């Protein structure tokens, strides 16, 4: 998506350790006009009427999922992160390992809002190692629901999450795929398909 790539080039900051800071428009401060264009693009990439729910994870995925939901006309459900083991029978749980923060946490979603009837589009802001998306997939499978696809704002194409998911036959659509970044030069190269 040209608009997002241009914005990343203009306002993204490349830091040592393959860190891409996009907090001026994507995941701390939010440009809602950009979000809405991203939402429209997800709709274009996942046409048809199969999708019944959008599933995301707090916190950065929520706004993007909401923007997209306007064009899919389906509810958003966001998985909550929790640091305590949840023994509630009313929730599905998955364990997620965060490479960024070097820790593990559980994510939960209420069984009320994810059922075997659902066809789910997973949306998140970043895809790198795929840990968050894998956790969300586990929730979907626990519910007996169907995964229609995964929509990502920015994929780090040089990390393995995207290729592993696609290798499992899951449709992954990323609006921008970063092929490489150079912190010293401050340059970003996008994948061309």
Residue (73 or 192) nearer to a second copy, CB: 73
Closest CA to 8 of 29, 23, 22: 22
Q: Which is nearer to a second copy, 52 or 159 (CB)?
A: 52
Q: What's the min distance (Å) between Cβ of 37 and a second copy?
A: 12
CA 82/CA 166 separation, integer angstroms = 28
In whole angstroms, give the CA distance from residue 54 to residue 74. 7
- Our CB check for a second copy shows the closer of 10 and 73 to be 73
The tokens for 57 are: 């994870």
* Nearest-approach distance from CB 27 to a second copy, in angstroms: 9
Q: Which residues pair with 123 in a beta bridge?
A: 151
Chain residues binding a second copy by CB under 8 A are 23-25, 28-33, 35-36, 58-59, 62-63, 65-67, 69-70, 73, 75-78, 80, 109-110, 112-113
Angle, in degrees to the nearest 10, between helices 2-11 and 32-45:
140
Minimum CB–partner distance for residue 105 and a second copy (Å)? 11
**Would you state the structure tokens that stand for residue 6, as one six-digit string?**
């241009």
Residue 54 CB, shortest distance to a second copy, in Å, is 9
């Amino acid at each position: 998506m040209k608009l997002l790539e241009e914005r990343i080039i203009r306002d993204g900051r490349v830091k040592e350790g393959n860190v891409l800071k996009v907090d001026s428009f994507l995941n701390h401060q939010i440009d809602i006009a950009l979000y809405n264009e991203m939402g429209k693009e997800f709709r274009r990439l996942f046409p048809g009427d199969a999708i019944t729910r959008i599933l995301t994870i707090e916190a950065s995925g929520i706004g993007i999922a909401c923007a997209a939901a306007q064009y899919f006309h389906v509810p958003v459900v966001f998985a909550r992160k929790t640091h305590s083991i949840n023994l509630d029978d009313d929730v599905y749980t998955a364990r997620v390992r965060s490479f960024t923060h070097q820790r593990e946490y559980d994510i939960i979603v209420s069984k009320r809002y994810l059922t075997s009837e659902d066809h789910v589009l997973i949306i998140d802001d970043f895809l790198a190692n795929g840990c968050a998306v894998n956790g969300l997939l586990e929730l979907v499978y626990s519910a007996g629901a169907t995964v229609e696809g995964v929509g990502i704002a920015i994929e780090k194409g040089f990390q393995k999450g995207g290729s592993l998911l696609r290798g499992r036959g899951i449709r992954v659509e990323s609006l921008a795929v970063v092929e490489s970044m150079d912190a010293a030069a401050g340059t970003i190269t996008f994948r061309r398909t």
